[in-house]
Amino acid sequence: MNIAFLTAHEGVEQIELTGPWQAVVDAGHTPRLVSVEPGRVQAFDHLDKADTFAVDQVVPDASVTDYAGLVLPGGVANPDFLRMDSEAVAFVRGFFEAGKPVAAICHAPWTLVEADVVRGRTLTSWPSLRTDIRNAGGTWVDEQVQICRSGPNTLITSRKPDDLTAFCAAFLKEFARQTAGAGAGG
């Protein structure tokens, strides 16, 4: 199955990209880096520049139908840039409209807030987003992983890099479960 990883051109927390990416590869699936600009994205280790990663596809050329699920890595700047890009926000919203699973960690739910898809859902995030999530109609909880099955799709969220092992296990299980239930491939 193909899994989209959506990032801005810079600011993604490297471990929140590489950890889930490797988990997808180890599970025998295909991760694809989708970004708002072609070329390479600049990852960060907190506030310090880290590695760069090649973009597989730009948002305007990406289709939700090509992917079984979406992973939104965090980093403070990454979701802030994404929520300012209307095509990226529409791409995220498209997964919810298509009933496909979405996984978001740390600050990534800022993009979900902008896409107006947290209303009526329970999720977790980095603690500083709790008010934003509540103001957007969501319920915020302080848990390692939160799985919310609301409507036709599943939202899997985690708080921080320390939660990556549980986050990856949860989203891979939910993506496989939902994909099998929908009879979708990818």
**Residue 44 backbone dihedrals phi, psi, to 5 degrees:** -130, 150
Beta bridge partners of 71: 5, 103
The residue to which tokens 């919810």 are assigned: 96
Is 107 assigned a catalytic role? Answer: yes
With vertex at residue 104, the alpha carbon angle to CA 155 and CA 98, rounded to the nearest 5 degrees, is 45
**Residue type for position 155:** L
- Angstrom distances, CA of residue 133 to CA of 26, 54, 176, 186: 32, 31, 27, 31
Look up residue 150 and give its two tokens: 């609301």
Catalytic site residue from 9, 29, 46, 107: 107
Q: Determine contact, residues 78/50, Cβ cutoff 8 Å.
A: no
Closest CA to 144 of 174, 176, 171: 171
SS3 label, residue 8: coil
Active site residues: 107
